[in-house]
Amino acid sequence: MPPEPVPAPDLPRAIVLEGVSNLRDLGGWPVAGGRVRHGRVFRAAALAGLTAADAERLAGLGLATICDLRGRAEAAAAPTPHARLPGVRQHALPIEPSVGAGLRDILATGGADATGAQARALMRQAYVAYASDWSHHYRTLFDLLVDPAGPPLLFHCSAGKDRTGFAAALILTALGATRETVTADYLATRTHWRGDAEMAAGLPPDLAAALLGVDAALLDAAFTAIDAAHGSFAAYAAERLGLDPPRLARLRATLVEPA
């Protein structure tokens, strides 16, 4: 297995909040023709803990759109305080736990005696499902990104690592980032997510590591499934994400600046 990529010392650009973690600007990552523009697209964990000070900080980003990738039950259990984000369009793009979307859903599917290997197998199935069963919600995310009124846009799930990590991987890949860059952004969750201490405390270490960590092999499984089903990422992007050449050009014009 090749060594894991080491991100540049100033990437990703994290934004530290009181009640929200894993908030990062995708800006700065190198892509075809330059780099991702700063201040246009952000990824994060759930916003349920957003404080008044956090909301003020987000307002400074000029956010126009927030996309919530959590399942309906997850979002209902930990609602985003929309009143603290006036004027920001909210879009629910629920990726439900049909295979296991959220960490607690995966744990429930495997039962109390689930092992780390079983959890990783379930998560692999979930990642493949993100690419196949839930591509329509990722397509809506791209629709919003190419909409002139869409960015600055923030997308999130619960931890901001799996459904959100795959969304970021799709965006960066569509913009022409190398797999090394895509993986470096994905693995940065290890540094920027504060984790779920309550869940970790009740789990064996191997199971906790599988559920609460990030594993590049899961991302690889999703992209391998894409290639197997469509022949290439470009074909998948056109067929499932609506990124035909004109829309892809619009996406790149919106999100890419010369290095």
* Given 47, 55, 107, 157, the catalytic residue: 157
At 99 the pLDDT is 45
H or E element at residue 89: strand 89-92
Tokens 């927030």, residue located? 66
Determine the pLDDT at residue 169. 98
Given this model, what pLDDT does residue 2 score?
Answer: 53
Produce one character per residue of 45-63: b if its CB has 16 or more CB atoms within 10 Å, e if not: bbbbbbeeebbebbeeeeb
Q: What is the pLDDT of residue 235?
A: 98
The set of residues, in sequence order, having a beta carbon less than 8 Å from that of 31 and lying 6+ positions away, is: 172, 175, 176, 177, 181, 252, 256
∠ Cα 16 19 23 (to 5°): 40
Instruction: Give all domains of the chain, ordered by start, each with its CATH number.
Output: 13-257 (3.90.190.10)
Residue 59: the pLDDT is 94
The token pair that represents 19 in the structure block: 């009640």
Query: What pTM was computed for the model?
Result: 0.90
Question: Which pLDDT score is estimated for 208?
Answer: 75
157 tagged catalytic: yes
Q: Which residues of the chain fall below pLDDT 50?
A: 1, 99-101
| Alpha carbon distance 11, 188 (integer Å) | 9
Res 116: pLDDT:
76
pLDDT at 102 (0 to 100): 52
Give the model's pLDDT for residue 117. Answer: 81
Q: What is the pLDDT of residue 96?
A: 85
What six digits make up the tokens of 24?
């990062």
